[in-house]
Amino acid sequence: MKFVSWNVNGLRACLKKNFMTSFKNLDADIFALQETRMLKEQAIIELNGYQQFWNSAEKKGYSGTAIFTRVNPISATCGINIYEHDHEGRVITLEFEDFYFVNTYTPNSRKLERLDYRLKWEDDFRNYVKNLDAVKPVIICGDLNVAHKEIDLKNPASNHQSAGFTDEERGKFSELLSAGFIDTFRFLYPDRANIYSWWSNFRKARENNSGWRIDYFLVSKILADKISGASIEDKILGSDHCPVTLTVGEI
Q: Which of 50, 128, 133, 143 is catalytic?
A: 143
* pTM for this predicted structure: 0.98
In the chain the domains, ranked by start, together with CATH numbers, are 2-248 (3.60.10.10)
Q: How many CB atoms lie within 10 A of CB 235?
A: 6
In order along its 251 residues, the chain shows pLDDT tens digits of 999 999 999 999 999 999 999 999 999 999 999 999 999 999 989 999 999 999 999 999 999 999 999 999 999 999 999 999 999 999 999 999 999 999 999 999 988 999 999 999 999 999 999 999 999 999 999 999 999 999 999 999 999 999 999 999 999 999 999 999 999 999 999 999 999 999 999 989 999 999 999 999 999 999 999 999 999 999 999 999 999 999 999 88
With contact defined as beta carbons under 8 Å apart, do 184 and 5 qualify?
A: no
DSSP code per residue over 7-62: E-SSHHHHHTTTHHHHHHHH--SEEEEE---S-GGGS----TT-EEEEE--SSTTS
Q: Which of 50, 100, 105, 128 is catalytic?
A: 105
Catalytic residue check, 105: yes
Say which residues have a Cβ less than 8 Å from residue 16's Cβ, sequence separation at least 6.
none
Q: How many helices (H) and strands (E) does the chain have?
A: 7, 14
Catalytic residue check, 143: yes
B/e letters for 58-80, b = 16+ CB within 10 Å, e = fewer, are: eeeeebbbbbbbeeebeebbbbb
Listed in order, strand segments (DSSP E) in the chain are 2-7, 30-34, 51-55, 65-69, 75-78, 91-95, 100-105, 138-143, 181-183, 198-199, 211-212, 215-220, 227-232, 244-248
